[in-house]
Structure 1
Amino acid sequence: MAVIITDLCINCAACIDECPVEAIVDEDDNPTGEECYYVYPDKCVECVGYHDTPACAEACPTEGCITWDMPFTSEHKDFFSGANYVGGHNYGVEDADAEMPFRKEVSMDDRQARKPVIED
């Protein structure tokens, strides 16, 4: 995935307008059923090749709302299923054979801890 929008989301739509790959959906289309926006892991590229940092996090007015997640790659596909994933949602990653771009400078420890993308 790359980033997660947490339950701190105020549903303001600032992130949707900034996403260059249209990976973000509003609460009505959130497949987990949560009342917040959602980033599709198979679409998010962490703005690699578009911006210096993820544009959604730069645009978000809520501190700590957007956090790092594991890269959506075949190497990490077990992370995106069942109890390992957001709300126990099982995200189909059977076809996750191609590596999605991600920021390699962000440590796997920070991703697993879901550290905020933007820290003051």
Structure 2
Amino acid sequence: MALMITDECINCDVCEPECPNNAISQGEEIYQIDPNLCTQCVGHYDEPQCQQVCPVDCIPLDPGHEETHDQLYQKFVIISGKA
């Protein structure tokens, strides 16, 4: 699954620079994650870096974008151009 940012976000600015896929951006009120770019850091790290640095724990799995580990890896390959 891709990740999502909930309305508990305090706009602390720590998640955006941690995303290796540039999937996180500032929305109208809070940060948001583009599910087309989010791989949960598969291919880059063992754990999603945004979740690791979030001080309010507001980045859960997005139930609207279910994906397997293999699907996340394939998305990583396409985004990064690595095979």
The answer (yes or no) to whether the contact 1:9–1:62 under 8 Å persists in 2 is: yes
Larger Rg over CA atoms: 1
**TM-superposition CA deviations, 1:27-74 (whole Å, max 9, x none):** 34xxxxxx11000011101100111111000011113x001013369x
Cα root mean square deviation, aligned = 2.0
In structure 2, C-alpha distance between the alignment counterparts of 1:100 and 1:13, rounded to whole Å: 28
In structure 2, C-alpha distance between the alignment counterparts of 1:101 and 1:3, rounded to whole Å: 11
Question: Does the residue aligned with 1:45 lie in a helix, a strand or coil?
Answer: coil
Question: Does the residue aligned with 1:17 lie in a helix, a strand or coil?
Answer: helix
**2:22 counterpart of 1:22:** yes
**TM-superposition CA deviations, 1:72-113 (whole Å, max 9, x none):** 69xxxxxxxxxxxxxxxxxxxxxxxxx8516xxxxxxxxxxx
| Larger RCO, structures 1/2 (Cα 8 Å, 6+ apart) | 2
Q: Which runs of 4+ in 1 moved over 2 A?
A: 70-73
**Matched residue, 2:4:** 4
Length, aligned pairs only: 70
Aligned-pair identity (%): 44
**2:72 counterpart of 1:101:** yes
Change (3 A) 1:42 1:72: farther
* Ranges in structure 2 where 5+ consecutive residues have no aligned partner: 74-83
For 1:71, the aligned partner's letter is E
